[in-house]
Amino acid sequence: MSTVSTIKIHPRLTSGRFNTVRVALVILTQLVYLSLPWLRWDGRQAVLFDVDNHRFHVFGAQFLPQDFVYLAALLMVCALGLFLWTALAGRLWCGYACPQTVYTEIMIWIERLTLGDHKARRRLQQAPLSAAKAARLALSHGLMLLFSLWTGFTLAAYFSPANDLAIRAAHLALGPWESFWILFYAGFTYLLATHLREKVCTHMCPYARFQGAMFDADTLIISYDTKRGEPRGKQVDKQAGHCIDCGICVQVCPTGIDIRNGLQYECIGCAACIDACDQVMEQLQAPRGLIRYTSENQLNSARPGSGFGQHWLRPRVLVYSALLLTILGLSIGSFLNRSPYRVDVLRDRAALVRENAEGWLENSYSMRLMNNSDRTQQLQVSVEGLPGIRLANAGLVQLPPSQVQTIGLSVQVPPEHAGKGAHDIRFLIRALDGSGHVLSESSRFIGE
Ligand code: SF4
Ligand code: SF4
């Protein structure tokens, strides 16, 4: 049974090509997350999940609760994308872009800035409590809390207009739900990235547990080359392998494991050990790559070469890709052909059928029109399905942007064409903007 270690890991700072990519991704993902609520598009916040008005605005496109199908498709695409990505690239997501990795990295930057390098942080941790220690820890945790609050505020700004939220936050006039979500997300970020760190990856994250099922012998992994490295020891020994047992690959590991013991589920694939070992190899004037990206097949020489030139055309990769492309294609096609308005028709059940002054039979309906777009919609309503059927009203509707409007309609039919019982009819709602959009809504006409 595994136990949770309470000793805090202070990874040693490393540098190298993979560290550069990781730092760039931390900056990029945070730039996108923190700045997106401030971006304007067509005069409104570019991304706003307006829960109060049941509308989601994403770069000019509007989504209503009825568009739930797109959310379902998005979730399926994300799940399949993750399966595909894991089969190809193993834990590349965990090591470079997972929010837990990104926020932990930022918190470690703050610790390094305020408390010093990994050795200084370890010394401070072991030192008895003093005023100086308390002051330094207060500064460090104060900055981490501030950053956490910023992430919490940003989350709320995706659901409540950012400018207005900032003004109300400055006047301490936030609503209870906004305050709750800001503090909840900030607390969550602080707890996970400051205190729990690698324990989230090793003990809490379900992805780490089930990804074994998505791995195969061609999946990209980070591995120590035992054949080249062993027996480890000082280079003066001619029999020794290339590993000089310096332990730096363990010191830089954010989860505190020794990759030389083989692939372990605690390995988040961050490649810090690759960068560290490559530097050691350069000093020894030995080739880089004692620890490297590879695959089980490449390690066993079944497919020689580097991990990035792996075997792509595998059954699981092809199945995930086909499913992903199908769902993506169908969703994009359906979204592009989506009508800019929606219609619901209800027959007035209180009044069954009336006879007008001309002797025509008349039924009443209530039509609910919803404008999905940011433009005013000019719509022409007509009806068909029975000989001589017509609308008593003009049928012209002007629907303001993002509005819902309910109109009453009277449908008239000559009595000789609407015998006893219910007859199928159809309302046609045509856009007059030249787009050719026509919606058809079925209903019933009750004869005498
Ligand atoms: S950094 Fe390289 S040489 Fe040093 S212990 Fe790790 S694998 Fe061996
Ligand atoms: S073993 Fe290497 S790649 Fe895995 S988590 Fe540790 S440093 Fe990162």
**Ligand 2 atom closest to the CA of 222, numbered from 1:** 3
Report the residue among 13, 223, 251, 255 best suited for mutation to probe ligand 2: largest number of ligand atoms under 8 A from its CB: 255
In a domain, 265, yes or no: yes
Is 255 near ligand 2, meaning CB less than 6 Å away? Answer: yes
Nearest alpha carbon, ligand 2 atom 5: 267
Is the preceding omega at residue 231 within 30 degrees of 0, hence cis?
yes
Is 259 near ligand 2, meaning CB less than 6 Å away? Answer: yes
Of 213, 233, 263, which residue is a domain's last? 213
Tell whether 58 and 188 lie within a shared domain: yes
Tell whether 160 and 123 lie within a shared domain: yes
Nearest alpha carbon, ligand 2 atom 4: 267
**Ligand 2 atom closest to the CA of 268, numbered from 1:** 5
> Would the pLDDT of 316 be above 90?
no
pLDDT per position as a tens digit, 328-367:
999 999 888 888 888 999 998 777 788 989 999 999 999 9
In a domain, 8, yes or no: no
Of 213, 234, 255, which residue is a domain's last? 213
Tell whether 60 and 151 lie within a shared domain: yes
Q: Minimum-distance ligand to the CA of 292?
A: 2
Of 160, 181, 213, which residue is a domain's last? 213
**Ligand 1 atom closest to the CA of 244, numbered from 1:** 3
Tell whether 179 and 264 lie within a shared domain: no
In a domain, 12, yes or no: no
For position 404, which CATH number holds?
2.60.40.10
**Ligand 1 atom closest to the CA of 245, numbered from 1:** 5
Tell whether 184 and 262 lie within a shared domain: no
Q: Minimum-distance ligand to the CA of 14?
A: 2
Q: Minimum-distance ligand to the CA of 198?
A: 2
Q: Minimum-distance ligand to the CA of 226?
A: 1
Nearest alpha carbon, ligand 1 atom 6: 249
Tell whether 367 and 430 lie within a shared domain: yes
What is the CA(321)–ligand 2 centre distance, in A?
28
In a domain, 329, yes or no: no
Tell whether 220 and 209 lie within a shared domain: no
pLDDT at position 2 is 46
Report the predicted TM-score, pTM, of the whole model to 2 decimal places.
0.79
**Ligand 2 atom closest to the CA of 274, numbered from 1:** 2
Percent of the residues in the chain that have a pLDDT greater than 70, as a whole number? 95
> Would the pLDDT of 182 be above 90?
yes
The count of structural domains within the chain is: 3
Looking at per-residue pLDDT, the higher value among 87 and 126 belongs to 126
- Residue 238's pLDDT band (cuts 50, 70, 90): low
Average pLDDT over residues 383-390: 94
In a domain, 332, yes or no: no
- Residue 1's pLDDT band (cuts 50, 70, 90): very low
In a domain, 320, yes or no: no
Which residue range(s) make up the domain with 237? 216-312
pLDDT per position as a tens digit, 360-385:
999 999 999 988 877 889 999 999 99
**Ligand 2 atom closest to the CA of 276, numbered from 1:** 7
Tell whether 277 and 176 lie within a shared domain: no
Tell whether 238 and 260 lie within a shared domain: yes
In a domain, 322, yes or no: no
Q: How remote is the C-alpha of 121 from its chain's centroid?
A: 34
Cα end-to-end span (Å), the chain? 77
What is the CA(256)–ligand 1 centre distance, in A?
14
pLDDT at position 386 is 94
Q: Which protein residues touch ligand 1 with a CB less than 6 Å away?
A: 224, 229, 243-249, 260, 276-277, 280, 290-291
In a domain, 9, yes or no: no
Tell whether 127 and 51 lie within a shared domain: yes
What is the CA(412)–ligand 1 centre distance, in A?
87
pLDDT at position 307 is 56
Tell whether 55 and 197 lie within a shared domain: yes
Give the whole-angstrom CA distance, residue 170 versus residue 301. 62
Tell whether 56 and 143 lie within a shared domain: yes
